[in-house]
Chains A and B, each alone.
Chain A
Amino acid sequence: MIRISKLTVTVLLFIISLLSAVPVSAMVQYGYIISSYDVDVEIRKDGSLDITEKVKYSHMGNNNNAVLLIDRQEDEEIEILNVYTIKKSEYIKCERLSAGQWDANVFSGTYSEVQEGDRVRIKIYGSFTNQQATFIVQYRVRNAIKKYNDIAEYRRNHVFRNWGGYISNININVTLPGFTTYDNIKPYLHGVLVGSKNVSDMKNVSYTIPNTVPGEYVEVRIAFPVSLVPDAPVAEETDYLDTFLQEEKEYLESDKSDLLKARENAAKEVGRLAWNERMKERTTIFFAAVSLFASYLGVLTIFRTRKELNREKEIFELKDIAGLSPPEAGFLVKGRAGARAFIAGLFHLAYKGMLDIDIRNEEGKDFLCFTIPGDADTSNASASEKHLLDCVKEFSEKYGYFCPARIPTGKGNTDQARLNAYYNAWADELKSDFNSKSILNPNQLYYRNLGLIMGVVLFAAGCIVPVAVSIWSGYLMLPVGFLLFWYSLNIRIRTQYRLARVRALKKLRQIILERDFSTVDLPENLSDPALLLSYSIVLYADHKFLRSGSLTEKTVSQYSLLDDRFRDKARSLIAKALTTINNSLVTNLE
């Protein structure tokens, strides 16, 4: 249990270390970058604004549409007048996607407008290349100027604090509706530490901000004479100038650590991105090397395990085959039990005198049937043989005989379910018997466990590392890991115990399949045709064996068959029984 816990911890640590690689590849991405942002605001006498924004995206943040956020304050109404985008060096007018209309051609330049509390989100669609685009948005804001007894106030957010991108070259120009003296115009700029403002021509206020970073914002505030907006509705019947100046004084004296922090963060971000780039390169190289090395270790482990398995050669000759029961031989050859081993087991029991074989004709067809003779001595039967005997016994008690080919297949069939239950118990017994004989020595066991753990880790790493770090070499761990795991999982079928026996059994098969096969070529303990038939079934050589004429009348009588009907029909009868059992097992598998 301690080993499992350690294993779990190791695997978890490995996964966590891989997970930490995910952001590495993610951090090299930027958001959008606006290289130029020009805003022209014209204040009208009725207190509304005509605003034109020209935005040049040099990178759209890997998106296929651009977004602009427009400030909307209480009581304001925003009407988008026009949206233009550049297509093939020409400005084209974008169509608005709106409710009920839903009939614009979105590919030729369209925009949508989403009202979201204190802002309006404009999304612009079009055909963009290289993530670059330029847009012009014209809109009108009604009730934008706050008119008091003594002053009128223009106050707008042009860049939102949480917009999140990088904007350079911001130029905002606000034109008042009429001329006034410079003293009467009081412009202020909030949200950035660096930026300049200038009043010109007695009616124009311009702001220049070299750039903003995420966390900064651009808010423009201007107080100007109320006489310039005679048609604007009065927001409040009060003198506001003192409050205005007081608020600006407070802003000036306020703690701007958040803005400093934003700059600092941006600088850090730039540094971090550069560091991430470097780290990504290093990580890529590191993981590429690790992947190759881990794959090499995986392959090495397979070879080392193989070497360990082949260290002690075992000698097993033809004459020793008789020591294996035919089902056991079948299991060794195939690596698992199967219908052939099952039938061979029944024949073997018949050879040992524990079963009788008969051919029954029912509904015009012949079937191979097994029964337990009254005088049968089953005390020497092995554990797996007892399952076969129990199976024959149960069916004999019910039908008078056990006839595999007569068992109907199909889901929910009781007889089939019983046959499958016996088969499974018998197959488990065979497997258990095999495992108890094909024992791994401590070294082999160590390499098997190492292979299993390493295989899992390599496979998991092969799935995660190449995706997280984007490297080809990582994918190498995937097949190596699986191969190593698979090899270690099935290590018992690669032991000398099995390989030596399989070699001998293959030799036996080869002899049976030879043109001039005769039982005299075999060791004495294998020369009995009745026994040989059982082996030939599991070695897929029964057809050839039955054709060879080795099954003499004497042998047939040994099976308690009265005539040579069996010899003539044996091939088709065995095939029929095999098919039925196979079908039954397949249904069971499903």
Chain B
Amino acid sequence: MIERLRTALREFGLPRLLIAAFLFILFAVAVATHMNLSGLVSDCITRVARNGILVLALLPAIQGGLGLNFGLPVGIVCGLVGCVISLNAGVSGVTGLVLAAGIGVALAIPAGLAYGWLLNRTRGQEMMVGTYLGFAIVSGMSIFWLLAPFQNPTLVWAIGGKGLRTTLALTGIYDKILDHWLSFTVAGVTFPTGALVAFGGLCWLTWLFFRTRMGITIAAARSNPRFALAAGISDERTRIQATVLSTTLGALGIIVYSQSFGFVQLYTAPLLMAFPAVACILIGGATVTRSTIGHVIVGTLLFQSILTVALPVTSQVIEGDISETARLIIQNGMILYALTRLRNT
């Protein structure tokens, strides 16, 4: 009996248990202090839908044997370029969003190919290379945002008329267009149906993908490169395929994120975006070498809920704000924990 409990605990993972317990305590305090519980739950769901695709973007990279894709900003900036181009053209509504997504994906594919090529040349250090490439690309794009010939006066700095602003409001263009689509409220809890459908749909498509010929070979090459070679699979190719998929999902992820957030954030905003996403998938139970759609969903739910609930709850109990501190401890602690387990997998 005790043995079975122990195995169950090991399978669920101690860190996940602690985080779930922490979340439970936060909710308990929220109830005890008579906070607006339905509002909190609404916020949680909104943030899950907002961040989910960025977390999902990490899955193909893990399945492809590239570890945690700290180079997620490569995909993110592609999505941002898509947004800015569609905004500059003044296309709004669904058409604008689709245009942004189309351009984002069109850019993410070649970017993913190049990123994958780079990772094949730096085998064994994918995570470090990804981190540095992410930093480099965000800085490089900062120059691009300043110099690119965008003319639309709503986008560029009011004084001087050159260079994009750091934050572009989407109000009246496609602000929350997915979140509001078919949105409904039950018992005070609002569901951002469109964004949830986008997240769920992409999860389903990714799940399907890993059941196709290409998906199976990607996972097989990750699982055993020598086996793959013997089966006539080039693992350099499958690694590039995985990188392209991850980068493309990153581009789509930031577009869904931006419409839900209501702003397109440029310059250094994408710099650290990979880290919370990585923490999410790890809290969900993924390891550096193996993950599933379930890990993506559970992890996003746990981590984003904590972020949402911790701020209002802790400010009720303690003077001052510790939610940012808690976020950093959980986020980076989780990444560290996953890396310590790397050798055992």
Tell me whether A and B are bound partners: no
Chain A residues packing against B (C-beta within 8 Å): none
Chain B residues packing against A (C-beta within 8 Å): none
